[in-house]
Amino acid sequence: MSLMAGLLAARRGLSTQTTRMAVISQNVANADNPDYSRQKVVDQSVPAPYPSGGVLGQGGPLVGGGVSAVAVLRERASWIEARLRQAAGETAGAQVQQEALKALQEAWGEPGDDGSLSHLFQEWGAAVNDWSGHPDDKGVKRVVVERSEDLAAGIRRLAGLVDQTREDQNAGLESDVKRVNELLHQLAETNHAIIAGEAGSEATGQLRLANDARDRRDALLRELAQYAPFRVVAGAEDQARDGAFRLELGGAVLVDGDQLLGEFQLNRAGATADDPRAATLEWHALPGQPPANQRLDGEVLGKAGRWAARLELRDQILTNYAQHLDTLAQNLADGINAFQTNPVLFVGSAGTTEQVRAADIHVNGSRPGDSGDLFVDPDKLDPGAGNGKVLDWLGWIKPEATSPQATATWFQSYSALVAQLGADVQRSDGMVTTTTLRQDNLQSLRQARSGVSLDEEMADLMSSQRAYTAAVRVLQTLDQALGDVIDQLGGR
């Protein structure tokens, strides 16, 4: 090995250790960045550039040309990233349902809060019971009518809560769609930065990776996974170069390389009088792109993610609550109106008993929300002979008083709805606990694999510093030896 070859090998050693210390500095600077992946230098021994000896000798052994940093790679496991994305979607979806259901349960006011439907039902029953002892007392009958309107208003309030919670899901979907479209735009821009940063790797013979941009892309993919099960078809691995990246959902290509191919929209055109909250999630291709419009349903979205959770809440869980309340309103009207026929007591929006819904049930002759004497004339509450009709009312309210074989009452049906809401809240709590624990475990696993350990970095820094110092000493020694050779040759 010639002196010049030794100088070149020592210079390469200095360059490699300089790169290593620069990477260590980058790692330390990002030690608290949860989206950062620890980077490492990949070294490769440089083969002898020419036969050992050069101009100063021939026939010696072949000695390598030192070391070269051929790449800076991320400490990253693709399977951890994939599972972390899945866990992020499951946790986000569970949290959406937990938040909505807990807010609804709190506003519902059960069990027994003042203003709750169970409290209003008890007061209504007490008024009817008092009427049974004073069947001809106009003041007592007025209280019965007023408590009837209070009960109807309580049902309307619950129907309004359920309807508002359904609308909240549409508002949440609109906000989600806006954020997802922003993320897709950022993803395309990040892919462009990756393509530009890694261009020319083949010409240099080095693997140039835009590691920080790739970390940014991973972070965007993790956030996107909170909304829907987006699928990375190609390009998520560090080996994928030349912009090879494609993101899909349900077969529709959303991002191809650095090209954004469309956007999501919430289409409310399907809203009807029967279901004013109906709205569909759709993917629309941008102008100039191949048509690939797609409606996102349960088959596409699956069970994980904020979108699937919101749609399940709006179209299944909350719709079931609304239907249960409608059944309660109709049964209340049918049950009591069977005894109070002229005039009927409870009516719907059209003033009839044919279709009484929870959102519009009220006492006949009243106008919900107005003031003044809104109620039917109490004198028209006719107990019939003695207090027999009042007893019919009491028998409907508490059938066990007249029929020990009765197994279900209106109040029991309402209690079943309250119990269902409680069970749904408990289920969502359990899902949040389970999915959060899984996500935290995966995040810890990612941190162990990709996170920065300051102790390890300091140890690596000391090792690189020693190697750098040694390379400097080698350079100084070879430089001095080469100077001696030049001096001797110059003196001849």
What tens digit of pLDDT does each residue of 185-196 get?
999 999 999 988
Helices (H), 134-228: 138-198, 201-204, 211-224
- Taking alpha carbons only, the member of 304, 303, 267 closest to residue 284 is 267
Q: What's residue 380's pLDDT?
A: 54
Q: What's residue 57's pLDDT?
A: 47
Mean pLDDT of 442-463: 92
Burial 317-334 (b: 16+ CB within 10 A, else e): bbbebbebbbebbbebbe
Secondary structure E strands in 312-458? 346-347, 362-363
- Cβ atoms of 397 and 405 within 8 Å: the answer is no
Residue 381: which pLDDT band, with cuts at 50, 70 and 90?
A: low
Phi first, then psi: what are they for 253, rounded to 5°? -85, 120
pLDDT at 81 over 80: yes
Mean pLDDT of 27-34: 92
Tokens of 280: 């569909």
Q: What is the DSSP string of 28-40?
A: HHTTT-TT---EE
- Return mean pLDDT, the chain: 83
- Cβ atoms of 187 and 217 within 8 Å: the answer is yes
Q: What's residue 368's pLDDT?
A: 45
Angle at 377 (CA atoms; ends 332, 341), nearest 5 degrees: 45
Torsion of CA 88, 89, 90, 94, to 10 degrees: 100
Phi first, then psi: what are they for 243, rounded to 5°? 75, 15
Instruction: Report the Cα 466 to chain-centroid distance in Å.
Output: 48
The residue behind tokens 């979607």 is: 89
Residue 394: which pLDDT band, with cuts at 50, 70 and 90?
A: confident
pTM above 0.75, yes or no: yes
- Position 152, amino acid: A
Q: Which of 22-31, 38-47, 377-386 has the highest mean pLDDT?
A: 22-31
Helix 117-133 vs helix 138-198: crossing angle, to nearest 10: 170
Residue 382: which pLDDT band, with cuts at 50, 70 and 90?
A: low
DSSP H or E segment with residue 295: strand 294-296
Tokens of 32: 């608290």
Q: DSSP letter at 25?
A: H
